[in-house]
Amino acid sequence: MDVNKDTYAQFCRQTPELPIFFQNWYLDAVTQEGEWDAALVESGGKVLGVWPYFLKKKAGFQYITMPLFVKFMGPWLAGAPSLTEQHQLLQALQEKLPKIAGIKQDCHYQFTNWLPLYWQGYQQTTKYSYRLDLTHLDQVQKNINRNMRRNLLKASQQLEASLLNDPEQFFAINEMSFSRQGLVAPYSKAQFLKHDQALEQHQSRQIFFAKDAQGRPHAAAYLIWDKQSSYYHLAGDDPALRQSGASIFLIWEAIRFTKEVLELDTFDFEGSMLPKIEAIRRQFGAQQQPYFYIQKYYSRPYQFLEQIKTWIGK
């Protein structure tokens, strides 16, 4: 391990509030087809701020983007620095990034002051996730939409939740959800299993299956967590059995598991910005949580290539 990554790994161990997506072992598992590193600002042997990033290369351009299975990257400032200190740290971190053609990152909720990056020519888009405060689980249940509660009751009468260490079966069900929409999963089975292996080794994931009396899996859910929150990371269902309500049934089971087993008070839906999915998050009583998507182009030719890709996608 190089000196920079070794220092970053120490920072991870000493910062219990750091999200799972920032952890060095997690980044080791998910940054495939590229490499991760981190900019660091230190003073007196103490790390004051970090900026993990994922480097990829395309058509001769080196750029920073988001790796698979990672919800957040970007700047993380230690402690509670003043506004002036934030400006100084962000400026210093930004200057330590490698020479790149462009950067696109989703930043964690903790990062709320992007002004110094604006001064450096960055652009920002506000995105939203949804989170549940599980301090009082009975109140969470009461806050669920009436129709959603009715559907949950119906599903619970037909299905049983199973906790199984079967990532291959999960992947098969997860893949069905993409196929139903005419899409190819954005990750391969090998990529998923490598990420799963790291999570299992660090005891940071649980796989849920909803099965009927015949033992047929209707849906599956993949929950991960750190010391602050759980994350409804991945999910999938069998298109032929979608009417059973298995997907929302597993959301509730994951919420219960978060509070009753993990003893965590925050459940994070990890998005989504898609209207139909967003509606379900709200019906569970989850609250909007904004976060920043930041980007900057350093190379005009690279920016042109990205614009062409966007036009083709449309």
Which residue ranges make up each domain of the chain? 3-128+290-313, 135-264
Residue with tokens 């042997």: 45
> Mean pLDDT across the stretch 64-85?
96
pLDDT at 3 (0 to 100):
64
pLDDT at 1 (0 to 100):
44
pLDDT at 182 (0 to 100):
86
**18-32, 165-179, 269-283 — which is least confidently predicted?**
269-283
Question: Could you read off the pLDDT of 86-137 as tens digits, one per residue?
Answer: 999 999 999 999 999 999 999 999 999 999 999 999 999 999 999 999 999 9
Mean pLDDT of the chain: 94
pLDDT at 308 (0 to 100):
83
> Mean pLDDT across the stretch 192-220?
97
Whether the per-residue pLDDT at 314 is higher than 60: the answer is: no
Residue 127's contacts (CB-CB under 8 Å, 6 or more residues apart) are: 106, 271, 273, 290, 291, 292, 293
Question: Could you read off the pLDDT of 255-289 as tens digits, one per residue?
Answer: 999 999 999 999 999 877 788 888 889 899 999 99
Q: Which CATH number fits domain 3-128+290-313: 3.30.450.20, 3.40.50.620, 3.40.630.30, 3.40.50.410?
A: 3.40.630.30
The CATH superfamily holding the domain 135-264 is: Gcn5-related N-acetyltransferase (GNAT) (3.40.630.30)
How many CB atoms are closer than 10 A to CB 27? 25
Reported in sequence order, the residue ranges of the chain that DSSP labels E, i.e. its strands, are: 35-43, 46-58, 61-65, 76-77, 102-106, 123-133, 160-163, 205-211, 217-225, 230-237, 266-268, 287-297
CA distances from 286 to 133, 141, 266 (A): 8, 11, 10
